[in-house]
Amino acid sequence: MNKTVIGDNRVFVLFIILLILGVSLVWMFFSPTQYAPTSANEIQLHDREGIYYVNNQMDVLADGDDQWTLADVQSPPAAGQFQPASGKSAFGLTAGTYWIRTTVRNQSSLEQWVIRLNNSVIEKFDMYLINEKSMGTEQSSIIEKADEHFSSYYIHLPAENLVTIYIRTVLNGSMIIPIELMDNQTFLGKLKSEYIFFGIYYGFVLLMAAYMLSMYMFNRVTAYLYYSLYIVCFSISQMVWNGLLQELLGADSRLLVFLLNCFGNYEGIDYFFFISCLWFGLLFLSKILQLEIYAPRMLIIYRILNIMSPLVLIASLFHFPGYAILAILYESMFAILLIVSTYWSVYRGSLVARYVVLATIPFLGLATPTILNTYSLMQESFLTHYGFQLGSIAEYIMFSIALSYQLGQSRTDKENALQQIIINQNIQQTRNELLQNISHDIRSPLTIVQGGIRAMMLGIEIEPGQKDKFLNTIYDRILYINTFIDDLFELSHLEQSRENAALETIHFADWIKHEFDSFASTIQLAGLQYESSISVDPQAVITINPHEIRRVLSNLVHNACKFSSIGGTVHLHASSSNGEVVVYIEDRGVGIASEHLPSIFNRAYKVDQTTSSNGSGLGLAIAKEIIERHNGLIWVESEPGKGSRFYFKLSEKYK
Ligand code: ADP
């Protein structure tokens, strides 16, 4: 993405609108719950009906003291305390034991069904099936797992029987438990599409992490390292949440057992990596947002969080009491820092912060349903289940663009700095040369003036005829010094004030004719022939500073006279075509050798350095400066012994 693209406010706002629209589309597409609510008080299974969402017809009982047995919850008073879930899948934010009760009538031709507890961090659960006809009880221990780690179990539901299912779950954190019931074929189909989704998602994540890491290796920009660690930690926490880590490692794997020993349970592992991911995210953001420049006040929150990060991690590792509150505080401060500092930085003109804003829109937009679901404010759906994953894809893409922009930026900064050094060196060199030239140009006439005055003071005898000549020379030299200083002043004035305030729009044909005529006498007084030719469109209109362009003409005409022999011709020409006017001043004088041509527009450059009396060496530099201020072009064609032609070109449209 071009660096100026989102620097433009309208484009930036357009991107924001597009992203919000994109997020809304994803919401519309994925959030409708796949499960239609029913009013029946039992689940009736039919052939090829797809997935039954148990939460629509189940009752929940919080067993705060973990005291009840199956027999207790089947009879009063516990049995009467069950509350209908009414489709909700989240029941509280505290750890504890919960009983779930649902009734199923199998009216299909199938007897083997799959029940899935869609929460991979459930600590422990027991399931009891009570067949109303036989009054037999089947316990979880004899239920076969349908899939190794996705908390999915085969249950046997005899046809036309009413079966009551009791599930006892132990959760360490928030009680989120979407339960699905489906036939084996539907289950396998769902599993397959989930594997494809995870395959694509984690494949992409791996690519992003590897890309960021390789960018770090090649460029040694630590922001890349932090971001790749952020991606890795976020993915591990998501893998635990999705049950994929358990799936990949195998429940008995040494690493998983080790992790469980360290963090107590799956939720502990999830938490540890999630907080680590926030920490790396924090380090990453502080690197790219350049808070010290754009939001210095936010640095305090950043430092507090930076100190808090390892503390929260240690607290979660050792399950300190109240660590959950510390973690929630940490997460909230992180969110405030992220939102306030990025939006403030955008306000202060940071381009990188704009990328951060663009990255957070899809992430927050798609993670929100999961959060709403946690608080029971949104029904279980694909979006609430995988919102974090969908959001993170968009976020990774935006941040990788932001980082490559930042890298490009720091490269350009370095190149610019290098170029500036070279320019500074050149300026220094030119200044030294200029000073040498100036001191030479002023010293030689001054020496003559000084010598002359001293001779007079000493009363040295001068022949009467020579006296006038002598005084004339002194006067000439003083005049020269005066003109030189005037020219120097004018040039430096032109160079300093780039703004051309005195612009006028004029009819070029009339104006140039008048100017040419005014030079006729100057040329003739110099003992030369004056010629002119004008073929300018009478309609041609041009916006110039007439005083400055007159100065250019005057400098060129004076040079033409100065470098011609008596009796020669000076030709002034003006023409217009294709929206441009071209003027040239031609003489048939001494001409300029080709080796001098590239330098004659430089300040204080003279072909013959000894002829200080003939000019300041600044006339052409002034002319060039003026023409360039008018966005025009000045150049020369010359041949030694034959003469020179000085051109300048201005655009009619120049304003
Ligand atoms: P100067 O005051 O010395 O004329 P300019 O900047 O006007 O300073 O010109 C720089 C040098 O370019 C002159 O010293 C001269 O050597 C050369 N030059 C300029 N105009 C002409 C011309 N029409 N014919 C030959 N040489 C010229």
Averaged pLDDT, 158-176: 80
If asked whether residues 47 and 138 sit together in one domain, one would say yes
Cis peptide before 77 (omega within 30 of 0): yes
Q: For residue 65, is it within any domain? A: yes
Q: DSSP string of 65-88?
A: TS---HHHHHSTTGGGG-EE-TT-
Q: How confident is the model at residue 612 (pLDDT cuts 50, 70, 90)?
A: very low
Claim to verify: residue 516 and residue 544 sit in the same structural domain: yes
Burial class (CB in 10 A: 0-12, 13-18, 19+), 535: exposed
- Mutational pocket test of ligand 1: of 620, 627, 642, 648, the residue with most ligand atoms within 8 Å of the beta carbon: 620
Same domain, 263 and 275: yes
Q: How far is CA 364 from CA 9, 232, 387, in A?
A: 22, 19, 9
Distance 166 CA to ligand 1 centre (A): 105
Residue bearing the CA closest to ligand 1, atom 11: 606
Probe target for ligand 1 pocket from 437, 440, 565, 592, with the most ligand atoms within 8 Å of CB:
592
Query: What integer is the mean pLDDT of 115-122?
Result: 77
Nearest alpha carbon, ligand 1 atom 16: 607
Contact 326, 315 (CB under 8 A): yes
Residue type, 319: H
- The whole-angstrom separation of Cα 87 and Cα 43 is 13
Q: Same domain for 89 and 9?
A: no
Query: Which of the listed residues 390, 418, 446 is the one where a domain comes to its end?
Result: 418
Q: How far away, in angstroms, is 485 Cα from ligand 1 center?
A: 17
The number of beta carbons lying within 10 Å of the beta carbon of residue 30 is 18
For residues 499 and 488, give the distance between their C-alpha atoms in angstroms, rounded to a whole number.
19
Ligand 1: which residue has its CA nearest to atom 3? 617
Instruction: For residue 398, tell me if it sits in a domain.
Output: yes
Q: 252 and 202 in one domain?
A: yes
Average pLDDT along the chain? 82
Q: Residue 555's domain is classified under what CATH number?
A: 3.30.565.10
Tokens of 137: 């009880």
Render 410-475 in DSSP notation, one character per residue: HHHHHHHHHHHHHHHHHHHHHHHHHHHHHHHHHHHHHHHHHHHHHHHHTT----HHHHHHHHHHHH
The residue whose CA is least distant from atom 21 of ligand 1 is 559
* 392 and 509 fall within a common domain: no
Task: Flag whether 474 is in a domain.
Answer: no
Q: What pLDDT score does 576 carry?
A: 92
Residues 422, 298: Cα–Cα separation, whole Å: 38
Q: What is the pTM of this model?
A: 0.58
d(CA 592, CA 645): 10
pLDDT, position 142? 47
Ligand 1 mean position, distance from CA 295 (Å): 57
Angle, helices 351-374 vs 9-30, to 10°: value is: 20
Pocket of ligand 1 (CB under 6 A): 555, 559-560, 563, 587, 589-592, 600, 605-608, 614-621, 644
> 582 in a domain, yes or no?
yes
Answer yes or no: do 204 and 62 share one domain.
no
| One domain, residues 262 and 303 | yes
The number of the ligand 1 atom at minimal distance from the alpha carbon of 560 is 23
Instruction: Give the CA radius of gyration of the chain.
Output: 44
Q: Is residue 578 part of a domain?
A: yes
What percent of the chain has a predicted confidence (pLDDT) above 90?
Answer: 16
- Domain final position from 168, 187, 206: 187
319 contacts 264 by C-beta, under 8 angstroms: yes
Whether residue 426 lies inside any domain: the answer is no
Phi, psi of 376 (to 5 degrees): 65, 20
pLDDT at 1: 40
Q: What is the pLDDT of residues 351-375, one digit of tens each?
A: 878 888 888 888 888 888 887 877 7
Within 8 A by CB and 6+ apart from 455, the residues are 462
Decide if 227 is inside a domain. Answer: yes
Q: What does the pLDDT average to over 307-333?
A: 80
436 in any annotated domain: no
Count of H helices and E strands in the chain? 16, 19
Structural domain that includes position 295: 5-31+189-418
CA 237 to ligand 1 centroid distance, Å: 78
Residue 404 shares a structural domain with residue 258: yes
Note whether 508 and 361 are same-domain residues. no
Torsion of CA 195, 199, 202, 205, to 10 degrees: -150
Regarding whether 237 and 135 lie in a shared domain, the answer is no
> Any idea which residue has 């007897």 for tokens?
111
Q: By alpha-carbon position, which residue is closest to atom 19 of ligand 1?
A: 559
Q: Using the mean position of ligand 1's atoms as its centre, give its distance from the Cα of residue 563 in Å.
A: 8
Q: Could you identify the atom of ligand 1 that is nearest to the CA of residue 590?
A: 25
Same domain, 209 and 181: no
User: Do 121 and 270 meet the contact criterion of CB atoms below 8 Å apart?
Assistant: yes
User: Residues 522-571: pLDDT tens digits?
Assistant: 899 889 999 999 999 998 899 998 888 998 999 999 999 999 988 899 99
The number of distinct structural domains making up the chain is: 3
Of 275 and 352, more confident: 275
Q: Among 369, 389, 418, where does a domain finish?
A: 418
List, in order, residues 6 or more apart from 359 with CB less than 8 Å away: 394, 395, 398, 399, 402
Of the candidate ranges 199-208, 242-251, 271-280, the one whose mean pLDDT is the lowest: 242-251
Dist CA 436 CA 434 (whole Å): 5
